[in-house]
Structure 1
């Protein structure tokens, strides 16, 4: 299994991350090769950085592997045929051949002079005429050569800016920062990649200047150029001419400047960089306008409880796949879990009798690796019945505790090892999108269902204790998290409630009694009930 995995990684052209740095041992682990192979790659032209230890840039590794694969390909001219036995290209302009017509079509056939075996290639009549019109003495196309510095593609999600001038001391320092983010701070790979992308962008702007010689004027000029979109990839319109540069979003600006500020705060304590002015990191802070815009919540459609009921009832349940999809959508509402965590659930994680769910971060991708035991939300027996029926169907088919709650395909349980759940949440999102299109509702994301539950809690969770339980069941440590990020009312509901309060006027005795009854204990409620009934 390990050898198969190494072969698969070795065939991957983009195994290395573009902005990362790798030492020799990490390159060996990344591609599953030995030390001599890496040394042979350097002799073949792979660029290495001679610092305190030998380092390789991810962009150089990817480019070297791409060109290396291109050179290994046997790209023949139109008049050549490749022999799989002798691994040689044979020209129809040199070797004698014949044209054979059969019920499968027309093909040319020649005898390999090395092996004596017949070589065939299916062609058309126009191909024969074009081959005969070629000049046998014309030169072959040249193969592509390896270039160590790939072109800059711009700043963005898929863009990259890499400096052409390599300073070994700075590269080793960036490598130390990369390791500090991973091993000391425990950052995720995507977070590390975003930090390194911002550092590479600033390096490209310095144009060969050492990081230790950074000045406030350079930082200010870089911020101005970045905010004006100077590093944005230029798009092309339909006519093929360069269009105006697209401005970067405030969120991108804030995150980029924040990563650079954190890097220079770390850099000032490194030997050789202590001469950097103390206020350099603070000059990377974005403007207040960008911080406000980046933190402003975006308007999103949140389905109501009735919308989800309509959605479930519009989904078919004739086939096995239909019942799985229907149970999946119902479970999203019943559990309130994130889609990335739902795909990793197994049958052992769901207790139908107690209506509880165990979210174990060792097996499920929970946010911030939280361990939670949540309960089903009181959204109605119709949703609970769909999920319970689906689990019962899996159990009757022979599913065990280790089998996924939502299998990718219809499995045959008990005849092989437990099936693996989905790797990403993309199939789940496609299922929800198809269900929304079928019901004709306004599109929404699966994560919006959590906001539906937060708003439903305003009507069901009446006491402070119930509201806290509702918030914890969503996985929030603080009640304010639920109210701020999920419980925001839409404008129609806000206007309706304000109109109701306008017509109602100031609070009266009846309203005061209603508020007291809502927070009264069961004993007091029973006493009030007896008193009112006389």
Structure 2
């Protein structure tokens, strides 16, 4: 292949990412009457709240989530994490209502169903069959063996909300986009990156941090507008530098 063909073949192209508003709309429109509906709704809320991968979510136990400490311990000895990495994720700031949905689900399992710490956080549906007629009846105290049921729940929820389907992994990109807006220092974005399980912040930026085209246009347009706060900061810095220089040039004892 020529260099031109290689560049065309390997060019990074923009991928669709769900907005925070779209995800919240999906969650708000999901039914919440039966236990299975509550599980499905809290599953999507949990994915947004933690950015956890679907394979990790499928293997999580109740003991891994701490609703008092607002965190999830992704213990690679029991949770199917990427590269068998163990790390703690603190709940992302995506809204108190989203966190409340997850908290209510955990309390339901522990206080109403009386499930223990080693039981699954998101259990299998119990399917009963009689005369070739199958119906759902509560849960089994078993983990999903794969993440396929999770992706099915996501697909059904997005389609029911009349939105294009976004898979669970796409929520991680949504969270990176949110972090780019909220984080005001390298330390803050490093913490945000670690919260996603990345040791290197460059992984977050390179793999997930592409600025969407519409947002790129917004930023460029905003840069045309004079920012008084930025100018004020520059003036303050200039005054401090001039003061230091004046003190250094002053005679000793003055």
Same-fold call, TM > 0.5?
A: yes
Contact residue 320 and residue 410 of structure 1 kept, 8 A: no
The 3-state SS of whatever aligns with 2:202 is: helix
Find out whether 1:484 has 2:206 as its counterpart: yes
Q: Tell me how far 1:288 sits from its aligned partner.
A: 5.3
Deviation, structure 1 residue 369: 1.0
Q: Distance in 1 between matches of 2:67 and 2:209?
A: 28
SS at match of 1:391: helix
Say if 1:303 and 1:444, in contact at 8 Å, map to a contact too: yes
Gaps of 5+ in 2: 128-139, 237-254
Distance 2:153 2:50 in 1: 17
Please give the alpha-carbon distance, in whole angstroms, between the structure 1 residues aligned to 2:8 and 2:37.
42
Q: Where does the alignment leave 5 or more consecutive residues of structure 1 unmatched?
A: 1-285, 412-417, 518-534
Q: Does 1:408 align with 2:124?
A: yes
Per the alignment, in what secondary structure is the counterpart of residue 73 of structure 2?
Answer: strand
Counterpart-to-counterpart distance in 1, 2:233 and 2:99: 31
Is the counterpart of residue 368 in structure 1 residue 83 in structure 2? Answer: yes
Partner of 1:353: 68
Residue 357 of structure 1, CA deviation: 0.9
Higher Rg: 1
Distance in 1 (CA, whole Å) between partners of 2:181 and 2:155 is 28
C-alpha RMSD of the superposition: 2.4
Deviation at 1:360, TM superposition (A): 1.5
Of 147, 155, 161, the residue aligned with 1:433 is: 155
What is the 5 A alignment of 1:120-135?
Answer: none
What is the distance in 2 between the residues matched to 1:378 and 1:404? 25
Shift of 1:334: 0.3
Normalised by the length of structure 1, the TM-score is 0.40
- Indicate the SS of the match to 2:159: helix
Q: Deviations over 1:171-205 (max 9, x none)?
A: xxxxxxxxxxxxxxxxxxxxxxxxxxxxxxxxxxx
Contact 2:154–2:165 at 8 Å: present in 1 too?
A: no
Aligned partners of 2:85, 2:76: CA distance in 1, in Å?
6
Determine the structure 1 residue equivalent to 2:188: 466
Within the alignment, does 1:453 sit opposite 2:175 as a pair?
yes
**Paired position in structure 1 for 2:142:** 420
Correspondence 1:24-63 to 2 at 5 A: none
> Offset of 1:296 from its aligned partner?
3.4
Structure having the higher helix fraction is 2
Alpha-carbon separation, structure 1, partners of 2:32 and 2:116? 23
Is 2:105 aligned against 1:390? yes
CA shift for structure 1 position 324:
0.2
Aligned CA distance change for structure 1 residues 516 and 368 (closer, same or farther; 3 Å):
farther
Determine the structure 1 residue equivalent to 2:12: 297
The aligned counterpart of 1:271 is none
Shift of 1:445: 1.7
TM-aligned CA deviation for residue 515 of structure 1 = 8.8
Answer whether contact 1:321 1:410 (CA < 8 A) is retained: no
Deviations 1:59-95 (A, max 9, x none): xxxxxxxxxxxxxxxxxxxxxxxxxxxxxxxxxxxxx
Matched position secondary structure for 1:299:
coil
